[in-house]
Amino acid sequence: MVLKEPDCKVRKEKSMTKLNFADKKITFASSMTEFHYFEPDTVNEAISLLKKFKGYIFAGGTFILPSMRRGEIEPRAFINIKKIESLQFEPRMKNGMVIISSLSTLSGLESSDLLHSKCPVLCDASSSIASFQIRNLATLGGNVCGGGMDILPILIVLNATSVMRDERGQRSIPVSKMQDERSLFQNGSKSILLYVSFVPPSKDEIVAFRKIDDALQVGFRSLSLALRLKRFRKRIQKACIVLGMGALYTIRLEDAEHILEGSDGNGQVIISASDAALTTLKQFESTMDWYAVDIVRVILMRTLREVLS
């Protein structure tokens, strides 16, 4: 096996800048650590490199490079998977399932004809992320495996499956369990996400995505909400509501789901379901920003009103 190792070693250097901001001392630190850089041609090569160098998978680099600059990670190696041909394919249908490669860029998802017809909400969510330049580089894999929080809630409501590969072989796990995998990525990547798959929602189901951005740049963490409602004869049979909290974690709003299920989704039910979201969020209060809890209640109420009216 021939491993390419372009000459890409970065000299070790550290720079620190201290700023006096009002009466608080804020320290910005940026560190550059020497690391190896590889561009394997196959998934197997990438896995051997991961094992040997205990490095990080590098896809678009839009999350991992800023993390390195902020000194949050000190990678020993980057394994750039963008040249792996088997991971380069457009979203497609196979056996009634939508299959999306981990290397699909967010701009590719945004403009995919297949996704526009089978699951337009995924196009909407992709187009809500960052700028066009970033979406051109950023990948689905990077978003799901560590870098973002807008695509994960939708994939969870779609009941999607992640297909991962590591040195032990290939395995499928529900995307809802990716959160546990993401914590592993903090200390280097252990496995590679190959693709995600899901059965497209049927025409009578409602799937919606809403996002609250920090439009005023005041330092608010962004929030995203994905929901899926299945109705039969004007009654909500099944509800799934997932909240994405910045790049931190996802929360399933089960108390709200229980209130909606079996109901006709009238105005009073919507208010009760939105209030019930607060019960779920109580458990997370200590880790959530003070403003976030009430925003979730309002955004859920508005979204339910829009989709059920």
Q: Can you give the binding site for ligand FAD, defined by CB under 6 A?
A: 56-64, 66, 102, 106, 129-130, 134, 137-139, 141-143, 145-150, 185, 189, 192-193, 222
Q: Minimum CB separation from ligand FAD for residue 214, in Å?
A: 9
Cβ proximity to ligand FAD, 105 vs 274, nearer residue: 105
Nearer to ligand FAD, 38 or 265 (CB): 38
Q: Is residue 125 within 8 Å of 107, Cβ to Cβ?
A: no
Q: 154 or 273, CB closer to ligand FAD?
A: 154
Nearest to 151 by CA among 178, 131, 170, 173: 178
Q: What angle do CA 298, 303, 307 make, to 5 degrees?
A: 155
Q: Per DSSP, which regions of 134-204 are E strands?
A: 161-166, 169-174, 192-198
Q: Nearest approach, Cβ of 203 to ligand FAD (angstroms)?
A: 28
**Cβ–Cβ under 8 Å, residues 8 and 37:** yes
Contacts (Cβ under 8 Å, ≥6 apart) of 238: 228, 229, 230, 261
Using the minimum distance from each CB to ligand FAD, give the nearer residue, 222 or 280: 222
Residue of this chain nearest to ligand FAD (CB atom): 142
Smallest separation, CB 164 to ligand FAD (Å): 7
Query: What CA–CA distance (Å, rounded) separates 287 from 266?
Result: 32
User: Rounded to the nearest whole angstrom, what is the least distance from the CB of residue 43 to ligand FAD in the complex?
Assistant: 10
Least Å distance, CB 273 to ligand FAD, is 25
| Euclidean distance between CA atoms 28 and 285, whole angstroms | 28
Nearer to ligand FAD, 6 or 262 (CB): 6
* Nearer of residues 143 and 274 to ligand FAD, judged by Cβ: 143
- How far is residue 224 from each of residues 17, 153, 185, 241, measured CA to CA in Å? 34, 8, 22, 11
**The residue to which tokens 């990670």 are assigned:** 73
Q: 123 and 210 in contact (C-beta within 8 Å)?
A: no
For ligand FAD, give the closer residue by CB, 217 or 309.
217
CB 19, min distance to ligand FAD, A: 21
Report, in Å, the least distance between residue 23 CB and ligand FAD. 29
Judged by DSSP in three states, 114 sits in helix
